[in-house]
Structure 1
């Protein structure tokens, strides 16, 4: 950590979560001088991105942070999928489970020495086509040619540079995280995705169970409001609430019993507005958030980082100034636009196929149910139990 009263760098990164830390490491590896600014020396507890895939960890590898990430993640190979009331697939792909705050702390600890880190609350931000100035509450200052906003779901820093936030689906879904009172070794699968017992259950998206250490971690995704009585019951009396929602689990694997608190996170889908401006570029959830049900959130954020640090920032720094015309190139990048559009489409359609009562989506549900019966009526795993 640096205590210098003023730090000058090519790039200042505000926000030291997974996206910000990865961007700092990737740029430092390319010889770009970087200052990474975070509110706290350690990332606060945050319920998100507890299960990630090999593709996302390979993006950490690309930034030189793969070993740091793997050191705090639990590796498991394979996910069993239950859908349409039966087991339908036994995947073999490698995935990882872990606590997000621990992951971020490990990424920050693994940053190369060339990355200067400043800890403190940013009071003011001055931006322009030539230089960006960030003044911390204790008077210290960071100056850079470019400011990368990797501030996640927080809106406060975005407002300081005149960027707005538009919520395009409020209370879109709800995520809950908790531990079961049984170790992962009690179960026959390395990881499980349980998508419900009925053909159409408009509230339940899925329950996924996976290891973090020896514990069995659960992430539950539902289409419910944080203000429903059901949500309060899940927090205050989770065992009967879960078993009533997923009765088939007890028949196959025993009762769902929670060990410890239930963390509940309401999900709003939002995008930033007015992002094309001199000297500032916005990435990850700070640019646009998507539904975690789709599993595309951290992938989208790390894709932003990869494209920005590999294809755009080195080119921008090679010529004077940081005008809006340069920044706009990143937002227009076909690879970014495609990944973002795909994530939004999945977020919207994964809810519509469950919840939308229009004729179009009722027909889609009927078609999906019919195809599911036809496809999954006989599987090798179903046959084992018959």
Structure 2
């Protein structure tokens, strides 16, 4: 965590030299804030440390839907999410100017800063958020000691690193990040509106890439309170000139990459700053240590196009905070043998593996141009189109089949 001179002074325990806690969580992004809220609601003494009092305006997670909603519900955050987000329920999926199928199901769009603010608002005691920087951590089989930039200290039985891809603290502890696929994907985020001020003819829309040479997986359009948000996901060299074109002349470049999109958008414009993110696929090593556990991106990164990052994060939070941490705290010690139970959890391992599997699948489906993947790509969209048409002729047929398969 890097020092930031623009943040406010620490808001908790300002006159205390040493703060005592059951669990210290470093990083109050989505993972850390949700974990802190779950643990604090269960009666644990939590110290949540972050250098910023207000979540930064970062281009990260901007929509929540599908199975993620059930996980938010189980953790007790669904009402707060619904209040903070912009709801939508129907998403036409198009390719080459034609509707492939329509996704139906509740989802919410909201900026990442609002999502984090929602999570922080669920803390029973706001003073458990300590605005400061963790300078050092000393881990042991018993009590963990954290030194803050302000000179204060935190003593806790367990430390949770939820620092995302920031690796300075982990590096000091001997934790290294192994890159599985460098510059795996590129994502762009921006907001659009029609030039005539009229609303779009859809509440949300997904447009898939048309040519493997373009490296476009899909463009996702969905509502947020500030307008229609656009997330573009690509598998392409980040130094390619098209990346500059997308930042400087977004409208024209977008239609050049996705010509079938024109009939759906009409005459539109970008209304805010174009943000972009280059993502490596990576996983940490040397992380099994006493008194210390890593969650979310601090443990393994994700491909944004695969849409598995939030699900992985929620699995980490749910398994650690409802299963392992309470059990660990109920007995003496916090050795590596306890910590290893979390990393060996079947649900966590499955979520981590599924995330990597989907990252590789999305890249291959988008970019591979050999005959095998060309056939697979055609069959993928053909199967979706046929299923959609049958479901239109016999409404409810698809839901019945899925229900029978689950039985």
Provide TM-score, normalisation by structure 2.
0.87
Partners of 1:251 and 1:114 in 2: CA distance: 48
Shift in Å at residue 373 of structure 1? 3.7
Change (3 A) 1:282 1:46: same
2:275 maps to what in 1?
263
Q: Summarize the alignment of residues 320-339 of structure 1 with structure 2, pairs less than 5 Å apart.
A: 320-339=332-351
Structure 2 residue aligned with 1:160: 172
Alpha carbons of 1:112 and 1:291: their partners in 2 closer, same or farther (altered >3 Å)?
Answer: same
Q: 1:243 aligns with which of 255, 263, 274?
A: 255
Alignment equivalent of 1:284, drawn from 265, 279, 296: 296
Matched, 1:6 2:6: no
Shift of the 185–157 alpha-carbon distance from structure 1 to 2, 3 Å rule, reads farther
Q: Quick one: distance in 1 between partners of 2:255 and 2:95?
A: 17
2:324 pairs, out of 308, 312, 323, with: 312
Within-5 A mapping of 1:139-288: 139-182=151-194, 186-197=199-210, 200=212, 203-213=215-225, 215-288=227-300
Could you tell me which residue of structure 2 aligns to residue 367 of structure 1? 376
Question: 1:25·1:65 contact (CA, 8 Å) conserved in 2?
Answer: no
Once the 2 structures are TM-superposed, how far is the Cα of residue 121 of structure 1 from its aligned partner?
1.1
Structure 1 counterpart of 2:362, from 346, 350, 359: 350
Native 8 Å contact 1:154 1:286 kept in 2: yes
Alpha-carbon distance in 1 for matches of 2:384, 2:109? 30
Equivalent residues of 2:96, 2:260 under 8 A apart: no
1:15 corresponds to 2:27 = yes
Query: What secondary structure, in the 3-state scheme, does the structure 2 residue paired with 1:102 have?
Result: helix
Secondary structure class of the residue paired with 1:260: coil
Mapped pair 1:29 → 2:41: yes
**Aligned-pair Cα RMSD in Å:** 2.4
Q: TM-score with structure 1 length normalisation?
A: 0.92
Tell me which moved more, 74-83 or 134-143: 74-83
Deviation at 1:22, TM superposition (A): 0.8
Contact 2:214-2:257 within 8 A present in 1 as well: no
Q: Distance in 1 between matches of 2:22 and 2:221?
A: 43
The Cα offsets for residues 99-147 of structure 1, whole Å up to 9 and x where unpaired, read as 1012212321331118622111111111111111111111011110000
State the number of aligned residues.
Answer: 380
User: Closer, same or farther in 2 for the Cα pair 1:374/1:80, shift >3 Å?
Assistant: closer
Higher mean alpha-carbon deviation, 205-214 vs 369-378, is at 369-378
Gaps of 5+ in 1: none
Does the Cα contact within 8 Å between 1:174 and 1:222 map onto a contact in 2? Answer: yes
- Shift of the 185–298 alpha-carbon distance from structure 1 to 2, 3 Å rule, reads farther
Equivalent residues of 1:78, 1:93 under 8 A apart: yes
Corresponding residue SS for 1:226: coil
Q: Deviation of residue 52 (structure 1)? A: 1.0
- Moved beyond 4 Å, runs of 4+: 377-381
What CA distance in whole angstroms lies between the structure 2 residues aligned with 1:94 and 1:167?
A: 35
